């Protein structure tokens, strides 16, 4: 039998076939905003219908060292 036991990945972005795993990996790789995710994975660069799902993943997985809660801001400026 040639049937592979492939783990089903949840697709977040159907325009570019980007999986949830890919987005999470990008977040763990340093992406902190929707723009970062777009640049890294192309998710949310088509119809942008998946942007809420991507933001949800950002909130869930990018909260390790961020002191902010709530929605991510793309115009964050740091003094330093
Ligand atoms: S579903 Fe992600 S850009 Fe369209």
The answer on pLDDT for 19 being more than 80 is: yes
Q: Which CATH class is domain 11-75?
A: mainly alpha
Give the span between the Cα atoms of 6 and 30, in whole angstroms. 27
Give the span between the Cα atoms of 64 and 3, in whole angstroms. 39
Residue 54 Cα, ligand 1 centroid: separation in angstroms? 10
pLDDT at 80: 56
Average pLDDT, the chain: 82
33 CB under 6 A from ligand 1? no
Ligand 1 atom with least separation from CA of 51:
2
Q: Name the 3-class secondary structure at 76.
A: coil
Query: 71 vs 24, which has greater pLDDT?
Result: 24
Q: What percent of the chain has pLDDT over 70?
A: 69
The answer on pLDDT for 70 being more than 50 is: no
43 CB under 6 A from ligand 1? yes
Give the span between the Cα atoms of 1 and 9, in whole angstroms. 22
- For the chain, the domains span 11-75
The answer on pLDDT for 73 being more than 60 is: no
Mean pLDDT for 48-72 is: 77
């Amino acid at each position: 039998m040639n049937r592979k036991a492939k783990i089903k990945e949840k697709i977040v972005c159907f325009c570019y076939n980007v999986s949830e795993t890919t987005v999470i990996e990008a977040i763990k790789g340093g992406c902190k905003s929707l723009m970062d995710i777009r640049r890294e994975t192309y998710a949310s660069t088509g119809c942008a219908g998946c942007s809420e799902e991507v933001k949800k993943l950002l909130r869930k997985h990018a909260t390790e060292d961020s002191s902010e809660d709530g929605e991510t801001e793309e115009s964050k400026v740091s003094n330093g």
